[in-house]
Copies of this chain bind each other. A is one copy, B any other.
């Protein structure tokens, strides 16, 4: 699962072979179809769902016991930029690459990515509501934040710099200030 998650986020679903996964995991090939009788698709779906929940937990950490919404947002994008630099621009969003690949070709995997994004949006909406935002504003800010993060990941990985993530942080903070009471 861990090896699969790393390869899928970096090379995508069709760009990753099952043999490549078991080799990276130092796992016996026979075990793959023992634990994942559904094959590559089942492995892919479980990777998407668990990676999505792990990433959500990461988000929760940034705003846990954080009294300041603005500082929480800044920390999010700064941390994302640091991870990109440290991993040579490989480890961005754990599911975006697969999400774009399968959106028009594999309905089961597409739904898995949609469930993850929905969970993120609902969690963010609830969290931001605690900073005094209305339900509508909290949802707007959450989606705008995910938009900026995902888009900045695309630019960052392609251009191999973190300017887009810095801009995403600035623009998200600016939006938060206009929504904050």
Contacts and interface: CB of A to CB of B under 8 A. Distances in A.
Given A147-B148, A151-B149, A160-B114, A11 B140 contact: no
Interface stretch (A26-34, A36-44, A53-61, A99-107): A99-107
A163 interface: yes
A89 interface: yes
Contacts of A170: 140, 144
A147 to B, nearest CB: 4
A12 B14 contact: yes
Contacts of A23: none
Q: How large is the interface on A (under 10, 10 to 19, 20 to 34, 35 or more residues)?
A: 35 or more
A140 B167 contact: yes
A157 B99 contact: yes
Contacts of A113: 158
Interface string A146-176: 1111111111011110011001101100110
A131 to B, nearest CB: 17
Interface string A81-123: 0000000111010001101110111000010011001100000
A101 B97 contact: yes
A138 to B, nearest CB: 12
A98 to B, nearest CB: 9
Given A96-B100, A168-B147, A158 B105 contact: no
A104 B157 contact: yes
